[in-house]
Amino acid sequence: MQAIILAAGAGTRVGMNIPKCLIEINGATLLKNQIETLHRLDDTILVTVVTGYKNHLVEQEIYKLRDIHPMIKTVYNTEAQNMGIVRSLELAATTIVEDAVLRLSGDLFFGPEADLHALIRHSEDALAVQRVPPSRNETVIIKNEDLVLTDVHSENDIEWLDIDYYANDSFKQVMNVSCWYIDGSQHYYQLMRHAIKIGSYRPKHIEVGGVFEIDTMEDLDYVRRKFAGGC
């Protein structure tokens, strides 16, 4: 299995002039938290980190993190501010050597109860989701009765956690449709939606607890309060 961390974005929405993945909680960066989580999942996993905004700072952090998990490589997205996530994925795809791929966003924090084993256990395509209040406008999913996704949309009670597992070479199949979005104007979920509709990606949804997206200052304050004193 191989992991991709999309860490090219800036932390401007949380009021910080640093890469988002370098935001700290309890003295550790989000990127460190993610690498430690992946190492616990599989201490032999290959990890590709896509950098972009102030990439030299991310490279400095990764240099230290290789003491925890040596198998980390980086890819620099020079067009991160204009071309978006799809371009980062295309760059990451050039480093893929394994059939199974776990993709996650660089703005996620994993609490001690987070368990990604549930996502990869059955070696099937899967998305990580969690329950949210119906009033919260997030990217969510529609599923059919056997839990295979048939669409992606908003305004529902299930939030996609921006973590996907691609089994049996399906990541490459999804990236084959990325040419539709090469200008970077579309959100990644729209690429995924297209792949689902044409049958390139048929993921099940798996509920995973203990994962927090740091998208706003309110998100950051909440997680810092919740895990004050350490995880």
Tens place of pLDDT per residue across the chain (231 aa):
999 999 998 877 777 889 999 999 999 999 999 999 999 999 999 999 999 999 999 999 999 999 999 999 999 998 877 666 778 888 898 999 988 999 999 999 999 999 899 899 878 888 888 876 544 555 555 555 454 555 555 545 677 788 999 988 888 878 876 555 545 445 676 777 777 777 777 788 888 989 999 988 999 999 999 998 665
Question: In this structure, what token pair is assigned to residue 139?
Answer: 């990217």
Note whether residue 231 is domain-resident.
Answer: no
CB count in 10 Å sphere of residue 95: 16
Q: How many domains does the chain have?
A: 1
Q: What are 73's strand-pairing partners?
A: 48
Phi-psi region of 52 (alpha: psi -120 to 50; beta: other; left: phi over 0): alpha
Residue 221 is predicted with a pLDDT of: 93
Residue 81 is predicted with a pLDDT of: 72
Note whether residue 169 is domain-resident.
Answer: yes
Task: Please state, in angstroms and rounded to a whole number, the distance separating the CA atoms of residues 114 and 2.
Answer: 19
Residues in the chain: 231
Note whether residue 8 is domain-resident.
Answer: yes
Residue 86 is predicted with a pLDDT of: 78
Note whether residue 158 is domain-resident.
Answer: yes
For 58, phi then psi, to 5°, come to -70, -40
Residue 16 is predicted with a pLDDT of: 82
Residue 135 is predicted with a pLDDT of: 47
Could you tell me the residue range of the domain that residue 175 belongs to?
2-226
Task: Please state, in angstroms and rounded to a whole number, the distance separating the CA atoms of residues 94 and 52.
Answer: 16
Beta-carbon contacts of 60 under 8 Å, excluding residues fewer than 6 positions away, are none
212's enclosing H/E stretch is strand 211-213
- 24-25 and 28-29 as β-strands: parallel, antiparallel, unpaired? antiparallel
Q: What's the CATH number where 104 sits?
A: 3.90.550.10
Note whether residue 214 is domain-resident.
Answer: yes
Note whether residue 18 is domain-resident.
Answer: yes
